[in-house]
Amino acid sequence: MLILWRRHKAGCAADCRCRKEKKRECHCCRCSIWADGYIGAPRFRQSLDTGDWAKAEQKRRKIEDEASRQDRGSPASPAEQEPVLIEAACEDFLSNARAHGLKASTV
Ligand SMILES: [Zn+2]
Ligand SMILES: [Zn+2]
C-alpha cells in the first residue's frame, strides 16, 4: 500500500492551511506528488512526476498492480511437493513386523 503525498518545492507559493499543517494532501498547488510505502521488502519512495491527484492515484494503482502481479508469479506452492505415500509406508511396516514376528517365533 502506497501513500500519496504532496512534496512542496522550496519555492512553493501555496500559502494554505494544509501546507502549514504539513498535511499529506494539498490541492492548492502543482508541486509533485510522491508515493511512499512498502511494496514487498524494499521501501518505495518516488516522485510520480505529476501535480495532479487523479493522475497520481492512477500511477499508484499501476505500481501496486504490478507489484501484486509479481507476488503471484512466485513459484513452488507446498501442494506441489510429492506427498509421502502413507499406504506404502504402512505396508512396509507391516511386512517388516510380520518377518520379525515369524523370526521371533521360529527361534
Ligand atoms: Zn506546493
Ligand atoms: Zn493546500
CA distance 20 to 14: 9
Which bound ligand lies closest to the C-alpha atom of 31?
1
pLDDT tens per residue, range 4-25: 999 999 999 898 999 999 999 9
Q: Which helix (H) or strand (E) holds 2?
A: strand 2-6
Given CA atoms 29, 31, 32, 34 in this order, what sign does their dihedral have? Answer: negative
Residue % of the chain over a pLDDT of 70: 77
Residue 13 included in any domain: yes
- Residues lining ion ligand 2 (Cβ < 5 A) are 16, 18, 26, 28
The pLDDT tens digits of the residues spanning 26-54 come to 999 999 999 999 877 678 898 999 999 99
Note down the domain range covering 24: 2-72
In a domain, 39, yes or no: yes
Is 48 domain-assigned? yes
- pTM here is 0.48
Could you tell me the distance, in angstroms and rounded to a whole number, from the CA of residue 18 to the centre of ligand 1? 10
> Mean per-residue pLDDT for 79-95?
64
> Nearest ligand to the C-alpha of residue 6?
1
Domain assignment of residue 106, yes or no: no
Beta strands 43-47; 33-38: pairing state:
antiparallel
Mean model confidence pLDDT for the chain: 81
Ligand 2 centre from 63 Cα, in Å? 25
Q: With 60 as the cut, is the pLDDT of residue 76 above it?
A: no
CA-nearest of 5, 75, 64 to 36 is 5
Q: How many domains does the structure of the chain reveal?
A: 1
Residue 98 lies in a domain: no
Residue 21 confidence (pLDDT): 92
